Amino acid sequence: MRKDLTVFNDIAKNWLRILSQQQALFCIDNISTFLNFANKHEDFFQGCGLYVVGSSVNNEKLFNDIDIVLVGLDFRAVVKYDRIFLMDPEVLIEKNIIVEPRLFSVLREGCDEGDDGTILKPVTQCTSEEGGSNIEAWGRRGLKHAGIWYDYNVEQYTWSALNLTGYCSYHATSSSLVNDMYNLFSLQKDKLNAQWSECPFENYGFGSELSFLVYHFSVDINTDLPTIHKDLLDVKPIDFCIHAENLQLEEWKRHQRSLGLPYVTLKEWPKKHNSRKIITDLEHPAFIDPQGICRAKADIEMMPRYKPKKPSDIIDI
């Protein structure tokens, strides 16, 4: 079966030629499907780039998947969030998520059941030694607003998250644009299995030390179908990665070069305006660089409020 390769540049065509026939056809079908989608939403994708990275770029025959990366979307087009996610103190106070400091008691290890425990000061009045040595105090840690320190309302919200930063980070999810990208593949139930990681912050931002904040999903051939052709059983899945960091293309390429990681350009969309289309008018969270130069990285203490520093020439990932 002949496929239309006019959407691919010469470098991309050369990469496709190193793949097996069925693997190449699988990639062409899915990449073409995505490019058609992106062209219909070009205001979001202006200034973006689509690249192949990983072991398949190095002519390695034993790669486990095809790694494809989308770079350059505005964070506000990728992630749906609210003012709680931004840790807006007035909203947190209004919704009783943070409260004025209060005394609390903690039972020490080995205490009898009838023991009333030890009364501790409000977290914001504790010394660093007192607060740092007690999990209860750590969980109550809040923030300062208008000269007043507030505690996280553990009694009401501990079922949702153990601390304030965790609670606020849960108020973000994939945008309608990202969901539509996923549905491009997941709706083809007769052909594909698409596996989706809905929360990028668990593994790529708030919950680890990896340097990229991304939405990640894998597109694989459905081998459970009774009519599956045996030649398709060896086709490796596509691991599709959508960056959510505002990264500009030249900055991403600099990151790749600094790490010695090659890439193949599948598509780069020209810039037509000064800014990319977004879904929300809310400001960027503090850990996102609006200019797209700095990369988001986890901050254990105040993760959602982390402001990334300009990266060095050699990047740790």
Read off the pLDDT of residues 93-145 as tens digits, 9 standing for 90 and up: 999 999 988 765 544 555 555 555 454 555 555 554 544 446 666 777 888 89
8 DSSP 8-state letter = S
H-only helix segments in 188-306:
200-203, 249-258
Q: How many domains does the chain fold into?
A: 2
Percentages (nearest 5) of helix, strand, coil residues in the chain: 30, 20, 50
Domain that holds residue 151: 89-169
Choosing from 169, 197, 218, the residue where a domain stops is 169
pLDDT of 38 over the 60 cut: yes
277 and 291 both lie in a single domain: yes
Q: Are residues 180 and 196 in the same domain?
A: yes
- Structure tokens, 34: 């995505």
Confidence of residue 51 (pLDDT cuts 50, 70, 90): very high
Tell me whether residue 53 is in a domain.
Answer: yes
Q: Do 178 and 160 share a structural domain?
A: no
Answer yes or no: is 312 within a domain.
no
Distance CA 212, CA 206 (A): 11
Q: In 10 A of CB 136, how many CB atoms?
A: 13
Q: Are 216 and 197 in contact (CB under 8 A)?
A: yes
Give the residue from 116, 147, 169 where a domain finishes: 169
What does the alpha-carbon distance between residue 315 and residue 243 come to, in Å, rounded to a whole number?
17
Within a domain: residue 165? yes
Mean pLDDT to the nearest integer, 289-298: 77
As a whole number of angstroms, the distance between CA 91 and CA 150 comes to 13
Phi-psi bin for 260: left (phi > 0), alpha (psi -120 to 50), beta?
left
Examine the domain organization and report whether 179 and 74 are in the same domain.
Answer: yes
Residue 251 lies in a domain: yes
Q: Using CA atoms, how far apart are residues 24 and 267, in angstroms rounded to an integer?
A: 17
Q: Specify if 201 maps to a domain.
A: yes
Distance separating alpha carbons of residues 260 and 193, to the nearest angstrom? 32
pTM for the structure as a whole: 0.78
Contact 202, 210 (CB under 8 A): no
Minimum mean pLDDT range among 9-18, 34-43, 158-167, 193-202: 193-202
The reply to whether 278 and 137 lie within a common domain is: no
- Confirm whether 154 is domain-assigned: yes
Are residues 200 and 284 both part of a single domain? yes
Residues 235 and 209 grouped into a single domain: yes
Please tell me whether residues 164 and 179 are part of one structural domain.
Answer: no
State residue 245's pLDDT score: 84
> Do 284 and 141 share a structural domain?
no
Q: What percent of the chain has pLDDT over 70?
A: 68
Lowest-confidence range among 23-32, 116-125, 191-200? 116-125
Residues 192 and 63 reside in one and the same domain: yes
275 vs 259: CA distance, rounded Å: 29
Question: Residue range 71-83: average pLDDT?
Answer: 91
- Find out whether 119 and 103 touch, Cβ atoms under 8 Å: yes
- Identify residue 130 by its one-letter amino acid code: E
pLDDT for 135: 63
pLDDT at 285: 86
Q: Identify whether residues 94 and 199 lie together within a single domain.
A: no
Comparing 40 with 228, the larger pLDDT belongs to 40
| Residue 298 in this model has a pLDDT that exceeds 80 | no
Residue 192 has pLDDT above 70, yes or no: no
At residue 192, the 3 state secondary structure works out as strand
Single residue among 169, 188, 204 that ends a domain in this structure: 169
- Could you give the CA distance from residue 140 to residue 150 in angstroms, rounded to a whole number? 9
Domain presence at residue 314:
no
Gap between the Cα atoms of 228 and 190, Å rounded = 10
Asked if residue 232 and residue 179 are part of one domain, the reply reads yes
Task: List the beta bridge partners of residue 267.
Answer: 50
User: What's residue 207's pLDDT?
Assistant: 42
Task: Please check whether residue 311 lies inside any domain of the structure.
Answer: no
